[in-house]
Amino acid sequence: MVIFNGQLKIKICEALELKPTAWSLRHAVGPKTQTFLLDTYIALNVDDSRVGQTSTKQKTNSPTWNDEFTTEVHDGRRIELSVFHDAPIGYDDFVANCIIQFEDILHNGSKHFEDWIDLEPEGKVYVVIDLSGSSSEGLKRSPCTVNPLRPALKIKSLNPQRRENSISQIKDGASQKANEHSDRRHRSATHIPQLPLVQPVLITD
């Protein structure tokens, strides 16, 4: 994964073929749902940081903005463009988005990108991107990393005094068990059950 450090300049020019989602149409009724026009803007993020957003274009599914943004990027991995419908009530509605990896811009040694980018689930957006800075190979993020040298269970260590007390308790317990075992053996050896005496019988012819 390539990471970028430096200055990002991006111009969000226009979008085409935007379509409202089912959620955007939740308040629309009648045949207007087939020709519903959006009030769209684009939110610009670099990784998880918001850079800004374009102006809102009213009632068009093919808006033109030509809005420019400049920002400093530190260990940047991706650029995200998210199209929203400016809803009159409540939260704004998601329409579409796309993600541009810095690696895809820099892979051929160029720091300039200008083209249409497909949006998901519908539409496309035209952007112009210029980078000024350096790039390097970053560490790949693993969803789950296990250290084989790390024990599965954490054993709580005792301070020296508590440790000595524990050892003494163990020794005392072992000594007590040994004494009990010895007593049982002694009682078993000294206690011999009394058997009834049998009188001899003299048999004569």
pLDDT band of residue 48 (cuts 50, 70, 90) is: very high
Helical segments of the chain, H only: 102-106, 160-190
Identity at 58, one-letter amino acid code: Q
Domains of the chain: 2-133 (2.60.40.150)
Global pTM value: 0.64
Residues 120-171 pLDDT 10s: 999 999 999 999 999 888 665 444 333 333 333 232 333 445 445 544 555 5
Burial class of residue 183, CB neighbours in 10 A (0-12, 13-18, 19+): exposed
